Chain A
Amino acid sequence: MFGHIFLYKTKELLRQKWCLGWNFLFPIILATAFYVGFGELIDSPGVLTEVSVAIVQTQDDSTADAFTDLVRSLSFMDVRIVSDDEAQQLLKDGTVSGILYTPSGDAAPGEPSLAVCANGIDQTILSQFLKSYIANEREMELILATADSPDDIRKAADLIGEDMSFGSDEINLRYDDSGAKQLSPYMHYFFSLIAMASLFASWISTSILGESMASHTEIGKRYECAPVPKSLSLTAGILSGLLTQLLCVTCLILYIQYVLKLSFNTPLIYVILLTSVCSVTGIASGVMFGALFGEHPSMNVAVPLLFSMICSFLSGLMVGNMQQIIQVYIPWLNRVNPAALLTDGLDSLCSYGLSSVYWLDMLALLILAAAAIAVSSLILRRKNYASL
């Protein structure tokens, strides 16, 4: 019975034009468009320019010195130590992108601060640096207060590094000179695209759910009149949706690597694995949307579509550094956005190889999927309906 439904559902999905078009062709076409649009930029490895910054030492004590040393130790910072007035002048000229004021006083500890007068990637990096410094302030100050060897400063820099690695390649590339491979910063757009394609799985499952429920469609009535437990027919349908989806995203990944010849710099199996897990999350969210809104046919497409588009937009599909901006203002959003989790995992995987970031992102995706399934099964548990 399971096999019967699974086979027919798969056949049905593979023949459906919208499925073929949106889940298979559209991401490939978009990938090609990105490729053509970025042109030669893609091939140039990450541009290792430095962020020029002026440091104004508000007070002359050990904390300020240690802070200055820390900033200096960061390879992507081009540091000048100047007076406040000079710094303002440099900022106006555009010679520096920002001014960092050192934390004040051993006696009355205060936070370091930043002044910028424009918006851009350099400014984002500076503010990101400051955020992670402040976030780790206690530890940082402890290390810096007792800092007497360059090693201690290095330790503090690493602490910041961990935080900043959640950002985009651009930061990683500029920051990390210790082992990051040369990954084109433009690959992030392709990661977001893969995330979008994975989340498109949601409407496959929304439609499968709709087709299996009497409250949603006439075909659903046939299912529910048949001597087949709903859990069985739904599981078979959803798994066939997942299979179809995995075929689509695997093709996309292979297309990017072998046809567009953009390297992931890592064994593809890990890329495919994380993407598959993200597709599971997409499928699970689709089931949840179907369970929640599926009775209104218009919602069946609108909700999954909005969901995939918003999630992938927030992960940087159109604005490359979207994820860092979010990391600065609403960091938790990056932790619950499946697209951001996927791009983060891929960023990390392709820059540093397998790491805990990759596995944690995968875990977070699985937790999201489990939550969506739990919500859906609560709703789908009912056996018959108050209204059809």
Chain B
Amino acid sequence: MQQEAAQFTPVVSISNLVKRYHEKVAVDHFYLTVGEGEILGLLGPNGSGKTTTLNCLLSLLKYDKGDISVFGKPMTPSAYDIKRDIGVVMQNVAVIDALSVYENIDFFCGLYIRDKAQRKRCVEDAIAFTGLSEYRKYRPKKLSGGLLRRLNIACGIAHRPKLIIFDEPTVAVDPQSRNAILDGIRRLNKEGTTVIYTSHYMEEVEELCSRIVIIDNGHQVAEGTASSLKASLRNRETTTVEVSRITEEDLRSLREISHVYDVMVNGGTLIIRCDGGSHNLVHIMNFLMERGIDFGRISTQLPTLNDVFLEITGKELRD
């Protein structure tokens, strides 16, 4: 896995990171390499250590073990030349209530860029980019949840960083705003920005990220592109059939069909899982008609990242 990633010019390289909170091991020998121009999706159940990893990466947290370097240089709390090129959009909205939209962006941008004219341009761009032009005079309290998230993003990216870290930027955001945010991230990436993106929305990650790392209990459990991850699943196709009546004998014969590896009846629904093949649906329908089994609606599904995620991290609830 690591060799594969090393082909990129690493923008971020985390190796053997261990972070404990007292007894609790939050990050457990975690490795991550992010190449230039990538959009890396960092996925994991609640409490798997994503935010902790990112905070270590930003040198906000002390860690017990491991090496972190960014842009090829070791990351430390006072590595200001590195920090200058990093943009952060935290999981929770962090804006100043007493300042207007414009002032918020200008203030945070000013922590990175001294030159006034340049800063003005950056702030204007960030406002246009997040579609906040109409709201520049608004105080954050008057913004809706989606606009607030966009402001949060604008504050984090106005200084045009080379690496942007998004920690769940689309929580509690409606689909329209979410699309706007995702489009924005894609545009930034086209301009050459490297992105690390965490989210619990699998579709979002699937469509946005060029590579995905799944973390669970603080260590990496899978890595690859969305399609390579899906390809690693045994399940390639799930067929669901509404049936009125089916015998044990029928079920046994169904399992004999090539590529079918799992058959299950749930109420009036028959669920058939296949691990490959190309004409599974035809074979299944032929079988049902031969046996004279009445059936209603049929649908087939290809595996999603969600399936990959659930298969890899298990189905039990997390903290």
| Residue picked from A211, A225, A387, A388, most chain B C-beta under 10 Å | A225
In the complex, per-residue mask of A208-240: 1 if CB is within 8 Å of any chain B CB, else 0:
000100100111011111111100010000000
With A223-B111, A229-B78: A218-B94 Cβ-Cβ less than 8 Å: yes
Choose from B55, B58, B59, B96 the contact partner of A219 (Cβ within 8 Å).
Answer: B96
**Chain B proximity of A9: nearest CB distance (Å):** 9
- Of the stretches B79-87, B202-210, B255-263, B282-290, the one at the interface is B79-87
Residue A359, interface by CB 8 Å: no
- Interface residue tally on A, bucketed by range: 20 to 34
In the complex, per-residue mask of A1-32: 1 if CB is within 8 Å of any chain B CB, else 0:
10011001001110110000000000000000
Q: Is the CB of B62 within 8 A of A225?
A: no
Residue A83, interface by CB 8 Å: no
Choose from B55, B61, B80, B88 the contact partner of A222 (Cβ within 8 Å).
Answer: B88
The SS class assigned to the B binding surface is: loop
Residue A258, interface by CB 8 Å: no
Q: Is the CB of A218 within 8 A of B83?
A: no
Residue A138, interface by CB 8 Å: no
Q: Is the CB of A386 within 8 A of B81?
A: no
Q: List residues of A (171-186) whose CB comes within 8 Å of B's CBs.
A: none
Q: Is the CB of A226 within 8 A of B60?
A: no
Q: Is the CB of B78 within 8 A of A221?
A: no
Choose from B83, B86, B98, B156 the contact partner of A15 (Cβ within 8 Å).
Answer: B98
Residues of the A chain whose Cβ atoms lie less than 8 Å from the Cβ of B86: 225
In the complex, per-residue mask of B92-113: 1 if CB is within 8 Å of any chain A CB, else 0:
1111101100010001101110
Residues of the B chain whose Cβ atoms lie less than 8 Å from the Cβ of A16: 98
Residue A329, interface by CB 8 Å: no
Residue A385, interface by CB 8 Å: yes
Complex: chain A residue closest to B88, CB-CB: A225
Residues of the B chain whose Cβ atoms lie less than 8 Å from the Cβ of A229: 78, 80
In the complex, per-residue mask of B47-70: 1 if CB is within 8 Å of any chain A CB, else 0:
000000001001111100000000
Residue B192, interface by CB 8 Å: no
- Interface residue tally on B, bucketed by range: 20 to 34
Residue B318, interface by CB 8 Å: no
Q: How far is the CA of A385 from the CA of B110 in the complex (A)?
A: 25
**Chain A proximity of B316: nearest CB distance (Å):** 26
Residue B297, interface by CB 8 Å: no
Residues of the B chain whose Cβ atoms lie less than 8 Å from the Cβ of A386: 21, 61-62
Q: Is the CB of A387 within 8 A of B21?
A: yes
**Chain B proximity of A337: nearest CB distance (Å):** 32
Residues of the A chain whose Cβ atoms lie less than 8 Å from the Cβ of B99: 8, 11-12, 15
Residues of the A chain whose Cβ atoms lie less than 8 Å from the Cβ of B95: 219
| Residue picked from A217, A224, A227, most chain B C-beta under 10 Å | A227
With A225-B58, A225-B60: A384-B77 Cβ-Cβ less than 8 Å: yes
Q: How far is the CA of A76 from the CA of B80 in the complex (A)?
A: 69
Residue B114, interface by CB 8 Å: yes
**Chain A proximity of B190: nearest CB distance (Å):** 24
Residues of the A chain whose Cβ atoms lie less than 8 Å from the Cβ of B55: 388
Q: Is the CB of B59 within 8 A of A384?
A: yes
Residues of the B chain whose Cβ atoms lie less than 8 Å from the Cβ of A12: 96, 98-99
With A225-B88, A227-B84: A4-B110 Cβ-Cβ less than 8 Å: yes
Q: How far is the CA of A253 from the CA of B155 in the complex (A)?
A: 40
Residues of the B chain whose Cβ atoms lie less than 8 Å from the Cβ of A11: 98-99, 103
Q: How far is the CA of A16 from the CA of B61 in the complex (A)?
A: 31
With A219-B95, A387-B21: A8-B88 Cβ-Cβ less than 8 Å: no
Residues of the B chain whose Cβ atoms lie less than 8 Å from the Cβ of A387: 21, 61
Complex: chain A residue closest to B83, CB-CB: A227
Sample of 29 A–B contacts (CB below 8 Å): A4-B110, A4-B114, A8-B103, A8-B107, A11-B99, A214-B60, A218-B90, A218-B92, A218-B93, A218-B94, A219-B95, A221-B90, A222-B156, A225-B58, A226-B111, A226-B112, A228-B80, A228-B111, A229-B78, A383-B59, A383-B76, A383-B77, A384-B77, A385-B62, A386-B61, A386-B62, A387-B21, A387-B61, A388-B61
Binding site for A on B (CB under 8 A): 21, 55, 58-62, 76-78, 80-81, 83-84, 86, 88, 90, 92-96, 98-99, 103, 107-108, 110-112, 114, 155-156
Binding site for B on A (CB under 8 A): 1, 4-5, 8, 11-13, 15-16, 211, 214, 217-219, 221-229, 233, 383-388
A-B contact sample (9 more), CB < 8 A, given A12-B99, A229-B78: A4-B110, A12-B96, A13-B98, A211-B96, A225-B88, A226-B112, A233-B111, A385-B61, A386-B62
